[in-house]
């Protein structure tokens, strides 16, 4: 897959001296859904605002489809649709007028059929004559997405698309984003919801304190960084972990009937065979056992903790 966005050594220090981005290198592949995952204040909005030409970089270079975002600003901006984090917009206008107007801003000829298509895709067609101010928060967000798509961008940036959006609408938006990707649009979304990255992304970049900690295929990330937890259910509960098992770093559940053992999935030896032997030696009887793969959430918490 070819790269549609190339970010080379990009940094940002705001005028008050705050360094929001340490030099960042990143390539976004054409046609993927890329999730930039990080806590509040990590630098996500700063990064995408630079790519969209709203914030000037302090150093480095970004190209979009081979064009430089500063030298060829008009060209790169026309290829980009941005759905901002904050709800803003022409409150008094109707949905249809606002979305059509935005298309015009990019110098594109009118195309009522296309505008109708995106309004239908976003379940906004029924509301086309409604004033934006009278819409619910979720509907307003859909209008922002329609505006961002009005000029047929190749790349869509979604800055925290589902922050403050209810669960039902969130699922709808996720489906819509997938449909857009399937229609050939490259999607870059920022989120601090791990669930969102896990659900949506083809690849994930983890950012914290202005630093891109890693970029990885979501599936590989979960496999590579993942730990597995083995739960051993004891036939009779115990009060303390026997001395013979001290080296395994086991946890005992509150009721004393479960031993929890955590191991790295990539480790050469999991240690499970010897653990089971030692458990038997210690006179404990295991009734049942099962394993659990750690979620992206646990991986993320570990990563961010280690970086601090
Ligand atoms: N205009 C600005 N001037 C100074 N600092 C800023 C400005 N905009 C953002 N910051 C700071 O940069 C950091 C990253 O902000 P932001 O990119 O909005 O993070 P995120 O979107 O990941 O929550 C934060 O600490 C924020 O306070
Ligand atoms: Mg932000």
Please identify which residue in the block is written with the tokens 């570990």.
Answer: 302
Relative to the CA of 42, which ligand 1 atom is closest?
22
Q: Look at residue 228 in the predicted model and tell me its pLDDT.
A: 77
Q: Look at residue 175 in the predicted model and tell me its pLDDT.
A: 87
Q: How far apart are CA 212 and CA 141, in angstroms?
A: 28
Q: Look at residue 90 in the predicted model and tell me its pLDDT.
A: 66
Q: Is the pLDDT of residue 293 over 80?
A: no
Q: How far apart are CA 250 and CA 261, in angstroms?
A: 5
Q: How, if at all, do strands 33-37 and 203-208 pair?
A: parallel
User: How many A from CA of 232 to the centre of ligand 1?
Assistant: 46
Q: How far apart are CA 168 and CA 200, in angstroms?
A: 15
For residues 30-51, give the mean pLDDT.
Answer: 95
Residue nearest to atom 7 of ligand 1 (CA): 14
User: How many A from CA of 137 to the centre of ligand 2?
Assistant: 18
Which ligand ends up closest to the CA of 24? 1
Structural domains of the chain sorted by starting position, each given as residue range(s) with its CATH number in brackets: 3-222 (3.40.50.300), 225-307 (3.30.70)
pLDDT band at 113 (very low <50, low <70, confident <90, very high): very high
Q: Is the pLDDT of residue 307 over 70?
A: no
User: How many A from CA of 48 to the centre of ligand 1?
Assistant: 12
Residue nearest to atom 27 of ligand 1 (CA): 41
Which ligand ends up closest to the CA of 44? 1
Q: Look at residue 59 in the predicted model and tell me its pLDDT.
A: 97
**What size, in residues, is the chain?**
308
Which ligand ends up closest to the CA of 40? 1
Could you read off the pLDDT of 202-261 as tens digits, one per residue? 999 999 999 998 899 988 776 666 667 889 999 999 999 999 999 999 999 999 999 999
Q: Which two tokens stand for residue 300?
A: 């993320």
Q: Is the pLDDT of residue 13 over 90?
A: yes
Please identify which residue in the block is written with the tokens 């009937």.
Answer: 257
pLDDT band at 136 (very low <50, low <70, confident <90, very high): confident
Predicted structure pTM score: 0.78
Closest CA to 217 of 209, 206, 232: 206
User: How many A from CA of 208 to the centre of ligand 1?
Assistant: 12
User: How many A from CA of 190 to the centre of ligand 2?
Assistant: 8
Residues whose CB falls within 8 Å of the CB of residue 125, separated by 6 or more in sequence, listed in order:
116, 119
Residue nearest to atom 11 of ligand 1 (CA): 20
Q: Among 16-25, 42-51, 146-155, 287-296, which is the least confidently predicted range? A: 287-296
Q: Which residues line ligand 1 (CB under 6 A)?
A: 14, 16, 18, 20, 38, 40-46
Site to probe by mutation for ligand 1, drawn from 37, 43, 197, 206 as the one with most ligand atoms within 8 Å of Cβ, is 43
User: How many A from CA of 238 to the centre of ligand 1?
Assistant: 51
Question: Three-state secondary structure along the chain?
Answer: CCEEEEEEEEEEECCCCCEEEEEEEEEEECCCEEEEECCCCCCHHHHHHHHCCCCCCCEEEEEECCEECCCCHHHHHHCEEEECCCCCCCCCCEHHHHHHHHHHHCCCCCCHHHHHHHHHHCCCHHHCCCEHHHCCHHHHHHHHHHHHHCCCCCEEEEECCCCCCCHHHHHHHHHHHHHHHHCCCEEEEEECCHHHHHHHCCEEEEEECCEEEEEEEHHHHHHHCCEEEEEEEECCCCCCCCHHHHHHCCEECCCCCEEEEEEECCCCCCCHHHHHHHHHHCCCCEEEEEEEECCHHHHHHHHHHHHC
226 vs 161: which has the higher pLDDT: 161
Q: How far apart are CA 23 and CA 211, in angstroms?
A: 8
Interior CA angle at 44 toward 193 and 24, to 5°?
125
Q: Look at residue 124 in the predicted model and tell me its pLDDT.
A: 92
- The count of other CB atoms within 10 Å of the CB of residue 267 is 10
Q: Look at residue 299 in the predicted model and tell me its pLDDT.
A: 67
pLDDT band at 296 (very low <50, low <70, confident <90, very high): low
Q: Look at residue 91 in the predicted model and tell me its pLDDT.
A: 74
Closest CA to 158 of 95, 99, 81, 238: 81
Q: What is the average pLDDT score of the chain?
A: 89
Q: Is the pLDDT of residue 281 over 80?
A: yes
pLDDT band at 41 (very low <50, low <70, confident <90, very high): very high
């Amino acid at each position: 897959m070819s790269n549609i966005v190339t970010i080379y050594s990009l940094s940002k220090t705001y005028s008050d001296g705050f360094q929001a981005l340490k030099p960042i290198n990143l390539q976004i592949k054409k046609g993927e859904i890329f999730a930039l995952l990080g806590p509040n204040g990590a630098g996500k909005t700063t990064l995408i605002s630079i790519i969209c030409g709203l914030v000037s970089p302090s150093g480095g270079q970004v190209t979009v489809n081979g064009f430089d975002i500063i030298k060829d600003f008009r060209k790169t901006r026309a290829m980009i649709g941005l759905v901002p984090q904050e709800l803003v917009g022409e409150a008094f206008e109707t949905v249809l007028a606002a979305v059509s107007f935005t298309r015009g801003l990019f110098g594109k000829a009118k195309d009522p059929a296309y505008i109708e298509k995106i309004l239908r895709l976003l379940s906004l067609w029924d509301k086309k004559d409604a004033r934006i101010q009278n819409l619910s928060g979720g509907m307003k967000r859909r209008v922002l997405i329609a505006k961002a798509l009005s000029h047929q961008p190749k790349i869509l940036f979604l800055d925290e698309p589902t922050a403050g959006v209810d669960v039902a609408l969130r699922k709808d938006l996720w489906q819509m984003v997938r449909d857009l990707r399937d229609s050939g649009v490259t999607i870059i979304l920022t989120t601090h919801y791990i669930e969102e990255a896990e659900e949506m992304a083809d690849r994930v970049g983890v950012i914290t304190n202005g630093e891109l900690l890693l970029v990885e295929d979501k599936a590989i990330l979960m496999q590579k960084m993942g730990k597995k937890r083995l739960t051993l259910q004891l036939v009779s509960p115990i009060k303390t972990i026997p001395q013979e098992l001290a080296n395994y770093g086991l946890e005992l559940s509150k009721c004393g009937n479960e031993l929890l053992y955590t191991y790295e999935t990539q480790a050469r030896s999991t240690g499970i065979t010897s653990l089971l032997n030692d458990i038997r030696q210690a006179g404990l009887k295991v009734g049942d056992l099962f394993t659990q793969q750690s979620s992206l959430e646990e991986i993320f918490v570990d990563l961010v903790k280690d970086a601090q």
